[in-house]
Amino acid sequence: MRLADIKWLNITKKPMTLIYKINRSQRRRSIALKVTAGELYVLAPQHASTAAIAAVVEAKAAWVRKHLERQRVQLNRLTPREWQSGEQIRWLGMPLTIEVLRGTRKQVEQVGDRLRLTLTARSPAATTAYQLVRTWYQAQAQQWLDQFFKQWQVTQLMPIGWSVGDFSSKWGHCTRAGALRFSWKLWLAPAWVVHNVVIHELCHLREFNHSPAFWQLVARYSPNYREAEQWLRQHGMTVLNNKFLDYCEAAELTGK
Ligand SMILES: [Zn+2]
């Protein structure tokens, strides 16, 4: 924003219209607002009226504008990712430099510390690159999990299956039936953090809660779980955010 624009905003003080996306849910009992990555989301009960939602947004408008403004300033400091050669992405916390080539067949391969994306002449570069990278992460993460469970000796804690999906609000999930599912974005984090999340979900096979007994079990198989939880609190929401990969290195993802 140029200085002239800022002055103009200060003089008029005309409030911007707030644009928001409504997420309705059967389980929700009250209307809540969430400001994330410079956008406003309304979490509402299934049958909340648009008038009721608008009233809540209006009542919280000052709070929303303050947070939106702060996040937009932060976002403006980031460099948008264009999925071009030279940009970096992390696999298990280690930087991989992206290399974009043109070829006759779409493919992704890791060559040392490079992630080589081959796009065809007709593919729209950015969208295709993102899809290729996501598919690569999902396949690699699945292999990582297969390897992990091949070595996992604790037979009392063995899931009936494991898979990798695309969550935007959680790292992992354990079903009542005993299957584990993880977000592919988890593998952007350092290996010791990934390991901890897998242990966390595994321990839900015995303790389907977050009771002291559950945390005791987690500590037995993942002694540094507190540091891992801390890492996720610090960087996690950024990584899980849908827009995370729209920017180059939005967070410090260095492992230890
Ligand atoms: Zn849990």
Residues 143-186 pLDDT 10s: 999 999 999 999 899 999 999 998 877 889 999 999 999 999 99
Write the CA distances from 82 to 37, 91, 134, 238, 245, integer angstroms: 18, 18, 15, 18, 10
3-state secondary structure of 236: helix
* Distance from Cα 209 to the centre of ligand 1, integer Å: 7
Residues 118 and 102: beta-carbon distance below 8 Å: yes
List helix spans (H) across the chain. Answer: 3-12, 50-59, 61-77, 125-151, 191-203, 212-221, 225-231, 237-240
* Distance from Cα 254 to the centre of ligand 1, integer Å: 24
Residues 189 and 66 in one domain: no
Our count of domains for the chain comes to: 2
* Distance from Cα 148 to the centre of ligand 1, integer Å: 19
* Phi, psi torsion values for 137, nearest 5 degrees: -60, -40
Write the CA distances from 42 to 127, 172, 227, integer angstroms: 27, 24, 32
* Distance from Cα 221 to the centre of ligand 1, integer Å: 15
* Distance from Cα 219 to the centre of ligand 1, integer Å: 13
Closest CA to 119 of 111, 110, 133: 133
Residue 12: the pLDDT is: 40
Residue 79: the pLDDT is: 81
Range with top average pLDDT, 12-16, 193-197, 234-238:
193-197
The DSSP bridge pattern shows strands 94-103 and 107-111 to be unpaired
* Distance from Cα 197 to the centre of ligand 1, integer Å: 9
* Distance from Cα 246 to the centre of ligand 1, integer Å: 28
Name the one residue in this structure whose structure tokens are 């974005």: 185
Query: Which residue among 27, 52, 77 closes a domain?
Result: 77
| 253 has pLDDT over 80 | no
Range of the domain at 8: 3-77
Assess if residue 94 is contained within a domain.
yes
Assess if residue 255 is contained within a domain.
no
Residue 169: the pLDDT is: 75
| 2 has pLDDT over 60 | no
Residues 122 and 12 in one domain: no
Assess if residue 95 is contained within a domain.
yes
| 189 has pLDDT over 80 | yes
Residue 238: the pLDDT is: 63
d(CA 54, CA 49): 9
Assess if residue 178 is contained within a domain.
yes
| 9 has pLDDT over 60 | no
Residue 178: the pLDDT is: 95
Residues 46 and 155 in one domain: no
Q: Average pLDDT in the 188-192 region?
A: 92
Residues in CB range of 36: below 8 A, 6 or more apart: 71, 237, 241
Assess if residue 83 is contained within a domain.
no
At 161, which amino acid appears?
G
Residues 68 and 92 in one domain: no
Residues 61 and 129 in one domain: no
Residues 92 and 187: beta-carbon distance below 8 Å: yes
Share of the chain above pLDDT 90, in %: 61
* Distance from Cα 21 to the centre of ligand 1, integer Å: 28
Assess if residue 82 is contained within a domain.
no
Q: Average pLDDT in the 75-87 region?
A: 84
Structure tokens at 98: 């992206």
Write the CA distances from 150 to 144, 192, 196, 203, 227, integer angstroms: 10, 18, 17, 17, 26
| 5 has pLDDT over 60 | no
Structure tokens at 75: 């976002």
Q: Average pLDDT in the 60-80 region?
A: 84
Question: What's the predicted TM-score (pTM) here?
Answer: 0.71
User: What's the DSSP call for residue 158?
Assistant: -
Residues 35 and 132 in one domain: no
Residues 19 and 144 in one domain: no
Q: Average pLDDT in the 72-100 region?
A: 87
Which tens digits make up the pLDDT trace of 236-250? 656 666 667 777 764
Residues 100 and 208 in one domain: yes
Query: Which residue among 53, 77, 101 closes a domain?
Result: 77
Assess if residue 96 is contained within a domain.
yes
Structure tokens at 161: 């299956």
- Positive or negative CA dihedral for 224, 226, 227, 233? positive
CA angle (250 as vertex; 244, 254 as ends), nearest 5:
110
Query: Which residue among 55, 77, 99 closes a domain?
Result: 77
d(CA 234, CA 3): 33
